[in-house]
Amino acid sequence: MGNLSYMDPKDVRNLIRQNNLVRPTAGIAQGYTQANLAILPKELAYDFLLFAQRNPKPCPILDVTEVGSPEPKMVATGADLRYDIPKYRVYKKGQLHEEVLDLEKYWTKDLVAFLLGCSFSFETALLKNQIPVRHIEENCNVPMYITNIECRPAGVFSGPIVVSMRPIPEEMVVRAVQVTSRFPAVHGAPVHIGSPSSIGIKDISKPDFGDPVTINPGEVPVFWACGVTPQAVAMKVKPDLMITHAPGHMFICDIRDEDLSAF
C-alpha cells in the first residue's frame, strides 16, 4: 500500500474508491488539502452557497459541483464524490440515517456537492511554525464551542458560529495570527483571542463538541471558525436529504495547502 503520508492523492483516492482504506484521513498525502463534504438538494444549493459567501470564515468553499455531477473539477479532476471519501453520513430531515462507504444508492441528478476547507490545513501551518496544537499532542478531538456570534443569514439558513479552540503560548499568539491569516480558504485568521465569555462560551472545560484539552499557565485560548458551522446550520433546516463525510474521514484534493495561501 506504500507510505500513505507521501502517497499521491489520486492513488489514495483509488484505494478509498475500492474500500481499501476505511479510516480517518489525518496525516495521509501530506501537504495536500483535505476538505469537508456537504451534499444538498439543488433547491437548497443557492441559499447554501450564498450563506457560505456571506460567512467565509466558518464556510470556506473550495469547490461546488455542477448540479448532478459528482466531480469536483476545481480541486480534483476525475474524482468522484460518490466513492472517493472513506465514510459518509446520510441525514434525513436532520436525523442521522446511516453511515455508508459509498453513495451509490443515494446519489441523484438533483444533488450538489460542496467541498469546504478544513482545519487540517492551517494546523499544518501552525505546526510548521513550531506552534503547538494541543489536541494533536493529547491525541483527542479538537474542542468546539457554540458562540454568541451569529452568522449572517442567507435565505433559509441561519445560526451561530461554531469555533474550535487551541491554547497558544502567549509569546506565539501574534505568529499564530500571521501564519493562519495566509490561509483564508481554510478558515484563516482566528475569530477571537482570549476571554471565552466574550463570545458566549460559559465553560471552556466543557466543549459543545469534541474533547476538552489542557490549557497551561501562560497560554491563551485562541478561537478559529469551525467547519461544523455550515453543517449545524444546514441541519437546522432539516433537509429531506443531506450527506456529509463521517468525522475525520475527509476528501483529499489534488491541490496543496500552499496553493490556497493568499500571499
Closest separation between CB of residue 154 and its own copies, Å?
Answer: 8
Considering the complex, state which of residue 14 and residue 261 has its C-beta at the smaller distance from its own copies.
261
Cα distances (Å, whole numbers) of residue 17 to 20, 77, 176, 212, 250: 7, 15, 36, 34, 13
| Nearest alpha carbon to residue 85 among 115, 58, 60 | 115
Closest separation between CB of residue 206 and its own copies, Å?
Answer: 33
CA distance 236 to 219: 35
Cα distances (Å, whole numbers) of residue 53 to 43, 48, 121: 17, 9, 20
Closest separation between CB of residue 148 and its own copies, Å?
Answer: 20
Instruction: Characterize 7-36 residue by residue with b for buried, 16 or more Cβ atoms within 10 angstroms of its Cβ, and e for exposed.
Output: bebeebbbbbbeeebeeebeebbeebbbbb
Considering the complex, state which of residue 64 and residue 144 has its C-beta at the smaller distance from its own copies.
64
Considering the complex, state which of residue 6 and residue 46 has its C-beta at the smaller distance from its own copies.
46
Closest separation between CB of residue 53 and its own copies, Å?
Answer: 6
Considering the complex, state which of residue 129 and residue 195 has its C-beta at the smaller distance from its own copies.
129
Closest separation between CB of residue 217 and its own copies, Å?
Answer: 30
By the criterion CB under 8 A, which residues form the site for its own copies?
45-46, 49-50, 52-54, 61, 64, 66, 73-74, 152, 154-155, 178, 181-182, 184, 189, 262-263
Considering the complex, state which of residue 25 and residue 55 has its C-beta at the smaller distance from its own copies.
55
CA distance 74 to 141: 29
